[in-house]
Amino acid sequence: MGEMQGKSVEIEVTNVAHGGVAVARHEGRVIFVSDAIPGERVLARITEDSKKSFWRAETLSVITASEHRRPHVWAAASIDRAPEDRAGGAEFGHIDISHQRELKRQVLADSLSRMAGVTTEATVEALPGADNGTGWRTRVRLQVAEDGTPGPYAARSHRVIPVTDLPLAIPALAAIAPLDEKFPGSAHVDIVVPSVGNPFVLAGGATNADRAGSDKASSDKGRTDRGRAHRITERVGEREFRLDARGFWQVHQHAAETLTLAVQDAVDESLFDPRASNLDLYGGVGLLAAAVGDRFGNHVRITTVESDSLATDHAAENLVEWTGAAAVTARVEQFLRGLGATAGAHERDSLRRGTVILDPPRSGAGKEVVAELVALGPAQIVYVACDPVALARDVALFAAGGYELSSLRAFDLFPNTHHVEAVATLTRG
- Please give the positions annotated as active site: 386
Those residues with Cβ within 8 angstroms of residue 425's Cβ, 6 or more apart along the chain or in another chain: 266, 267, 268, 380, 381, 382, 383, 405, 406, 407, 408
Instruction: Find the distance separating the first CA and the last CA of the chain, reported in whole Å.
Output: 50
Q: What is the largest CA-CA distance in the chain?
A: 67
284 three-class SS: coil
The CA-atom distances, in angstroms, between 118 and each of 108, 180, 204, 368 are 11, 49, 43, 22
Q: Rounded to an integer, what distance in angstroms lies between the CA atom of residue 302 and that of residue 13?
A: 48
Q: Give dist(CA 377, CA 355) in Å, integer.
A: 10
Instruction: Summarize the chain as % helix, strand, coil (round to 5).
Output: 25, 30, 45
Helices 366-376 and 388-400: crossing angle in degrees, nearest 10, is 40
* CA 159 vs CA 94, 153, 301, 421: distances in Å: 21, 5, 48, 28
Is residue 223 within 8 A of residue 248, CB to CB? The reply is yes
Instruction: Give the residue from 48, 70, 362 showing the smallest Cα distance to 218.
Output: 362
State the DSSP code for 127: P
CB neighbourhood size of 18 (10 A): 18
C-alpha pair distances (Å), 350 with each of 44, 258, 305, 331:
57, 29, 17, 22
Burial, 128: exposed, middle or buried (Cβ in 10 Å; 0-12, 13-18, 19+)? exposed
Strand segments, DSSP code E, in 251-395 are 278-281, 301-306, 324-329, 355-358, 380-385
Contacts of 27 (CB under 8 A, 6+ apart): none
The Cα 297–Cα 300 span in angstroms is: 6
**Adjacent-strand bridge partners of 326:** 303
The partner residues of 42 in beta bridges, in order of sequence, read 11, 62
